[in-house]
Amino acid sequence: MIDFLVSILSNPAIILGIIAAVGLIALRKSTSDIIKGTLKTLFGFLILQQGSNIIVNSLVPFSTMFTEAFGLTGIVAEDNSLVAAVQTVLGKETALILIFSFLINIVIARFTKYKYIFLTGHMMFSFAGTMAIVFNQMGVSSFWTVVIGSVIQGISMVIFPAISQPFVRKITGNDNVAFGFWGSSWISLSGWIGGKLGNKEKSSESMKVPKSIDFLKDMSILMGLIMIIVYVVTAIFVDPKVMAEISGGENPFQFAIFQALGFVVGILILLQGVRMFLGEIVPAFKGIGEKIVPGAKPALDVPIFFSFAPIAVTLGFLSALVGGLIVTFISSLLPVVVLPSVIGLFFMGGAAGVFGNATGGRRGAIISGFVLGFSWSLLVALAYPLVDVTQYGVQGLWFASPDAILVVIIIRLIGMLFGIHI
């Protein structure tokens, strides 16, 4: 009987299904809604795992190519893919931290003056996975991983929105919503620097940005182009004999291009899965949170700020890309090569542009985006030795969210006090 229960609860898809079902029941949804919501959560999670398999399959040959070519490890900073890839090992812990941290968030919001309810579902998922990985590496048992991880995440879900709230007020002009995204501190900091060096009088929104770069808004296209460049350039530097071995005789460029496209396809499938289960879980969480916490401020995902200064988003992203590329080029000085991680650079760089524009106009937006791209990629490179994800069979991926990385650094420092070394 116990074995049976443990086997059920070790399956993260089932835990998430239960969370969705309980949430929907608590909201008194109809039976058909409950069945639909629960099944879609299960489907979503299984789709996510399949997407993660595809990503891993196209990253493994890439990692081999990259190491052959440059004698260095190359990584892409992408949380969702990384956390999805470790779900077979740490899925139960991730799902449990996800739910308990949300409950702790509600309790803190209910009883303190910090009324933030963190509602960005994929960020909650990736942070929970991050906590599971970090504590697992430090040799903490499953039980304590869930306990400590949930408490840390629950507190983070309130503290980080609180830190960025002064900036959010400046941009939105009100105090009704908060910033629920694990790059908020870094974006606020970049925005602050942009403000110091910029000129508030000249807003980015009076500029004209060519229509021809509009296609960059479609993430799959942007990522496809950059990954093709990254894979093909790497393939050029691999010894042709070794390359023939890796590609199994296929034309090396064809092989590189289709591996790159396969990577993007994996991300698209993974995101489809994330979309499916979040579409069920987030509304349930939101309903419960708002019922229990009067005056709750929802902490929301980063693109809510994009509409305040769309041109600043483009400026911020482009300058963040430049900043990120500089880190890629100086990486022989660093522990690891951080490849341009498009998703992070777009969303965080874009937001840094908006924040920088609010404090320092168009120059502020450009500086802020650049600072974000450069300092973020540098943070990822420098923090890389702190957590080894290759022992879970994951190659070529590492954590992306700066707020989460800051928390990881603090955890590892405290761990050292207790004699747990890296």
Partner 1 sequence: MYIVSVCGMGFGTSLMLLMDIQSIAKDFGYEVDGEATDLGSAKGKKCDFMVASSEIAAELSDQDVPIISINNLLDKEELKQKVLPLIESIAKEESK
Q: Please, what's the largest Cα pairwise distance for the chain?
A: 69
The reply to whether 43 sits near partner 1 by the rule CB under 8 A is no
Q: Given the complex with partner 1, which of 211 and 241 has the nearer CB atom?
A: 211
Task: Assess 341 for contact with partner 1 (CB under 8 A).
Answer: no
Q: Give the residue, chosen from 13, 119, 124, 379, that forms a contact with partner 1 under the rule CB under 8 A.
A: 119
Q: What is the DSSP letter of 203?
A: -
Kind and range of the H or E element at 340? none
- Count residues binding partner 1 (CB under 8 A): 37
By CB under 8 A, is residue 197 in contact with partner 1?
A: no
As given in the structure block, the two tokens for residue 246 are: 């890796």
Choosing from 120, 165, 190, 247, the residue that interacts with partner 1 (CB under 8 A) is: 120
Cβ(222)–Cβ(268) below 8 Å = no
Site membership for partner 1, residue 169 (CB under 8 A): no
**Cβ atoms of 371 and 323 closer than 8 Å:** yes
238 SS3 class: coil
- Nearer to partner 1 (CB atom), residue 90 or residue 309: 309
Helices (H) then strands (E): counts for the chain? 14, 6
Within 224-283, the residues that bind partner 1 by CB under 8 A are: 268, 271-272, 274-275, 278-279, 282-283
Nearest CB to partner 1, comparing residues 28 and 241:
28
| Minimum gap (Å) between residue 375 Cβ and partner 1 | 23
The phi and psi torsions of 77 (rounded to 5 degrees) equal -85, 105
CB of 219 or CB of 232, closer to partner 1: 219
Least Å from the CB of residue 71 to partner 1 = 35
List binders of partner 1 among 172-191 (CB under 8 A): 172, 174, 176-177
Contacting partner 1 (CB under 8 A), which of 147, 225, 301, 322?
301
Q: Please, what is the minimum distance in Å from the beta carbon of residue 171 to partner 1?
A: 10
* Site map 354..393 versus partner 1, x via CB under 8 A: ----------------------------------------
Sign of the alpha-carbon dihedral angle for 63, 50, 150, 345: positive
Give me the least distance between CB of 346 and partner 1, in Å please. Answer: 8
Angstrom distances, CA of residue 169 to CA of 178, 179, 233, 263:
9, 10, 44, 38
Options 7, 220, 254, 391; binder of partner 1; rule CB under 8 A = 220
Distance of alpha carbon 65 from alpha carbon 422, whole angstroms: 28
Alpha-carbon distance values, 24 to 34, 100, 281 (Å): 6, 17, 8
| Site for partner 1 contains 218 (CB under 8 A) | yes
Instruction: Compute the distance between CA of residue 166 and CA of residue 332 in angstroms, rounded to an integer.
Output: 38
Name the token pair of 47. 């789709």
Q: Which of 47, 313, 387, 407 binds partner 1 (CB under 8 A)?
A: 313
Name the residue nearer to partner 1 (CB basis): 202 or 275.
275
Instruction: Between 94 and 234, name the residue whose CB sits nearer to partner 1.
Output: 94
SS (H, E, C) 315-338: HHHHHHHHHHHHHHHCHHHCCCEE
Candidates 122, 362, 363, 412: give the one binding partner 1 (CB under 8 A): 122
DSSP string computed for 376-405: HHHHHHHHGGG---GGGT--SEE---HHHH
Report the alpha-carbon angle 288-291-292, nearest 5: 90
At 357, list the tokens: 């524009």
User: According to the binding rule CB under 8 A, does residue 335 interact with partner 1?
Assistant: no
Q: Which is nearer to partner 1, 300 or 381 (CB)?
A: 300
In the complex, the residues that contact partner 1 under the rule CB under 8 A are 119-122, 172, 174, 176-177, 214, 217-221, 268, 271-272, 274-275, 278-279, 282-283, 286, 298, 300-304, 306-308, 310, 313, 346-347
